[in-house]
Amino acid sequence: MERPGHAGYGLANYARCFKGIMWREALRHWHQRARFLSALVRPLIWLFIFAAGFRSVLGVSIIPPYETYVLYEVYIAPGLMAMIALFSGMQSSLSMVYDREMGNMRALLVSPFPRWFLLAAKLAAGTAVSVAQVYAFLAIAYFWEIEPPSPWGYLAVLPALILSGLMLGALGMLLSSVIKQLENFAGIMNFVIFPMFFASSALYPLWRVRESSPWLAFVCELNPFTHVVELIRFAFYERINFLALIVVLATATAFLSLAIMAYDPSRGMLPRREGS
């Protein structure tokens, strides 16, 4: 047995800590099962009501990865998967602010393990929940003929979902370091979630946006969420969008690095606020 006082932590100690953080997040979600279900309601409403209503208005031409004309529901399905990951990431951010207000965050941060490891473990736990939500969504959407060309698509999309979950979770973690109180969280909805979601290719292809406003299309291309959507869309069709992969990898690394810096007591923003 490794005593806590002996020099250095081994891999086994790290694994136990990682498992403990994952287990705690799993328990928390088990206690809040309604939250898991409510996270599915939002994309399902978009799929069954919004997409059905706009099916005849918004035609989608043949654009990669599609090789035929597709129904609007089929087009927006990857965007809705990305939407689940986006809301899940922001929900993690909300949880971290709540933990900070309730004092639970201190219990985590005074652990002797390196701060980056604790945050990465928490991020992995949030991503696992996000991926589970997407598969639950896909299971329901299957009955409305939203499915990949072959069953392998369900497996091929997994790495894209994990990477997207990590990227959006890291963004949520970074935002949690600058949100002072839970009450300020509404601002995240208005200034982060809505602009990211609507200024992307989630609901309409960018060539459509470009027709109306080249400037707006350029903004959409810069939006990392567009690349999350495209990464998932291509992966669902067992293809790789390399530009999207690079952008999502780069932004995930940047957001996580900034979040770790923000939670680092010597460099971050947390200690600068009295009583936080």
Partner 1 sequence: MSFSTPEREAAICPASQPPLEIACVGYSYGRRMALETVSFTVAPRSFTVLLGPNGAGKSTLYCLITRLYATQQGTIQIFGYDVNRSSVEALRRLGVVFQPRTLDLDLTVMQNLSYHAALHGISERQAKLRAHLVLERIALTARKHDKVRSLSGGQMRRVEIARALLHEPQLLLLDEPTVGLDIKARADILTHVRSLAMQEGIGVLWATHLIDEVEAHDDVVVLHQGRVLDRGKASNIADRAGATDIRMAFEKLTAESVVSGQ
Binding site for partner 1 (CB under 8 A): 1-7, 9, 12-14, 16-17, 19-21, 23-24, 27-28, 31, 102-104, 106-114, 118, 264-266, 270-275
137 Cβ contact partners less than 8 Å away, ≥ 6 residues apart: 40, 43, 44, 80, 81, 84
Give the separation between CA 105 and CA 109, rounded to whole angstroms.
6
Q: Closest CB to partner 1 among 37 and 222?
A: 37
CB of 260 to partner 1, least distance (A): 14
CB of 181 to partner 1, least distance (A): 15
Q: Which of 121, 100, 125 is nearest to 180 (CA)?
A: 100
Residue 31 in tokens = 């206690």
Q: Which of 214, 234, 225, 238 is nearest to 63 (CA)?
A: 234
CB of 17 to partner 1, least distance (A): 5
Per-state percent for the chain, helix, strand, coil, to nearest 5: 75, 0, 25
CB of 222 to partner 1, least distance (A): 35
Q: Closest CB to partner 1 among 129 and 134?
A: 129
Give the separation between CA 81 and CA 63, rounded to whole angstroms.
19
Q: Closest CB to partner 1 among 53 and 114?
A: 114
Secondary structure of 113-132 as H, E, C letters: CCHHHHHHHHHHHHHHHHHH
Q: Closest CB to partner 1 among 71 and 269?
A: 269
Q: Closest CB to partner 1 among 81 and 173?
A: 173
Residue 161 in tokens = 């979902």
CB of 23 to partner 1, least distance (A): 7
